[in-house]
Amino acid sequence: MPHDPYQRLKSPFSLDDYVVIITGAGGAIGGATAEVLAAAGANVVISDLNLETAQIVASKVTKETGKETLAIKTDVTNEVEQQALVDATLKKFGKITALINNVGWGEYTPLWEVTMDYMMKSYLLNTVSAYSLTKLCLPHLKKQENASVTFSGSAVGTTPSPEFISYSNAKAALLHMSKSIAAMSGPHVRANSIVIGSVDNGEATLKAGYDPEMLRRLAESFVMKRRGAPYDIAYAFNFLLSPAAAWITGVQLDVNGGGSYKSKMPTED
C-alpha cells in the first residue's frame, strides 16, 4: 500500500474512517482506549468475555463521541468465537483497519505452586489467542491504508516476576511474537507492543492481589510519582495506530511512568 505523506501531514493523529477491534475492551484500559480512538474518528468494536460490560462501554463511547460502536462477547481462546468477532466486524463496518490484542489476565501465584495446566492456560489466553486472532484479521488488515496490530504487553513480561510466573512468561512471549510478526507483516501491516506499567484500573487491580499499601509504594517507585491512568495507555494506542506512526513497526513502547517495575509483592519473608 503506498504511503500517503499528505494525509499524514494534514491530520497525522486522526483515525477517521478506521475500524478498530479491541479485545478485552470491557476493562478500564480497553474502555478508555475505545473512547479515545472513537473521539479520534474510529468505529470501535468492543470485544469482551462479558457481553454486559462490553455493551456498557459501547454505549458510553457512542454517547460521548457520536461514533457507532459494536459490542460483542468473545472468548478469545475459542476459535469459533474469534471468527465470529471478525465476521461481525466486517458485517457491520465492512473492514478492519486495526486490531488491538488487549486481552490479558494474571494473578499472584507463589512461584512453586503453579501447575502445568495453569501455565498452559495462561499461555493460551495471553499469547496464543492473540496470534490466532491476528492471523484471522490479517487478510482484511492488508487491504487498509496504515493497518496495524498492537499488543498490550506488561512490565511483568520484561522484568523478572516470580510472583506472576505464568502471566509474565506469556507476556514476554507475546512481546517477542509482536516483533517477529513485524518482521514479515510489512509493508501492509505494522505490528507493535505497548508495555504497560502499573495502571490504576480500579477493581481489577485489587482483585489481582494488590493492597493499598503496596499500591502506595508502587506509586512512589515511579519517577513520575504516580501510577498510570487508563488514558495514558489510550493515548499511546492512538499514537501508534495513527498515520503519524506509519513508519513505526516492530517496536516496544514502554508506558510506565519512567521507572523500572520493581515487584513490591511479598516474597518468602
Partner 1 sequence: MSANFKDMINLSGHVAIVTGAGAGIGRAIAETFAKAGAAVMVSDRTAEAAAKVADGINAAAGKATSIACDVTSDVALAAMVDETVKAFGKVTILVNNAGGGGPKPFDMPMDDFTWAYKLNVFSIFRLCQICAPHIEKAGGGAILMISSMAGENKNQRMTSYGSSKAAANHLTRNMAFDLGPKKIRVNAIAPGAIKTQALASVLTPDIEKAMLKHTPMGRLGEPSDIANAALFLCSPAAEWVSGQVLTVSGGGVQELD
Give the interface with partner 1 as residue ranges (CB under 8 A): 3, 5, 8-9, 12-13, 32, 35-36, 39-40, 64-65, 182-187, 190, 197, 222-226, 228-229, 231-232, 234-236, 238-239, 244-251, 253-259
User: Smallest distance, Å, CB 245 to partner 1?
Assistant: 7
Q: Which residues on neighbouring strands pair with residue 72, listed in sequence order? A: 47
User: Smallest distance, Å, CB 13 to partner 1?
Assistant: 6
Give CA separation, 196 vs 17, 52, 216, in Å: 27, 25, 18
Q: Closer to partner 1 at the Cβ: 35 or 48? A: 35
User: Smallest distance, Å, CB 7 to partner 1?
Assistant: 11
Ranges assigned E (strand) in the chain = 19-22, 43-48, 69-73, 98-101, 147-154, 189-196, 252-255
Distance CA 207, CA 219 (A): 18
Q: Closer to partner 1 at the Cβ: 126 or 256? A: 256
The angle, 0 to 180 degrees and rounded to 10, between the axes of the packed helices 129-141 and 79-93 is 30
Distance CA 100, CA 24 (A): 9
User: Smallest distance, Å, CB 103 to partner 1?
Assistant: 22
Q: Closer to partner 1 at the Cβ: 129 or 178? A: 178
Q: How many CB atoms lie within 10 A of CB 236?
A: 20
Q: Closer to partner 1 at the Cβ: 123 or 235? A: 235
Distance CA 69, CA 53 (A): 14
N- to C-terminal Cα separation, the chain:
57
Cell numbers describing residue 184: 514479515
Cell numbers describing residue 14: 486522526
Contact in structure between 215 and 15 (CB atoms under 8 Å): no
User: Smallest distance, Å, CB 208 to partner 1?
Assistant: 20
User: Smallest distance, Å, CB 86 to partner 1?
Assistant: 24
Residue whose C-alpha is closest to residue 139's, from 87, 175, 93, 100: 87
User: Smallest distance, Å, CB 185 to partner 1?
Assistant: 7
Q: Closer to partner 1 at the Cβ: 52 or 64? A: 64
Q: Closer to partner 1 at the Cβ: 7 or 77? A: 7
Q: Closer to partner 1 at the Cβ: 28 or 182? A: 182
Distance CA 85, CA 47 (A): 8
